[in-house]
Amino acid sequence: MSLTPTNITHEKLLQIVQTRPQDYTPWGQYNRDATDESWCADCSGGCIFYALLEGGLGADWGVCTNPKSHRVGLLTFEHQGCCSFTSDRADP
């Protein structure tokens, strides 16, 4: 059976998503909340390199296109994140 947009779910994506040690906890070993100095935004904060999936899954899922990120080219849950975050908003 092939997957179609109607039977790809959040739960199925969580089962297949690749994780890396550099991912934020609980997916990896990086605790971004350990200190104020180590905190980094995640993809859901508006990273310019986060290409959202189409449809309803795009609210939570995308592909990282940042060549400086350890997640480049990978399906990524919005909170897996990395410290290569680059805001899609202009600085005020």
Q: Domain boundaries in the chain?
A: 10-77
Residue 77: pLDDT above 80?
A: yes
The tens digit of pLDDT for each residue in 44-70 reads 888 999 999 988 888 899 999 999 999
Residue 90: pLDDT above 50?
A: yes
d(CA 53, CA 69): 18
Amino acid identity, position 35: T
DSSP three-state, residue 77: strand
DSSP three-state, residue 30: strand
The tens digit of pLDDT for each residue in 4-41 reads 556 889 899 999 999 999 998 899 998 877 666 656 78
- Answer yes or no: are the C-beta atoms of 18 and 74 closer than 8 Å: yes
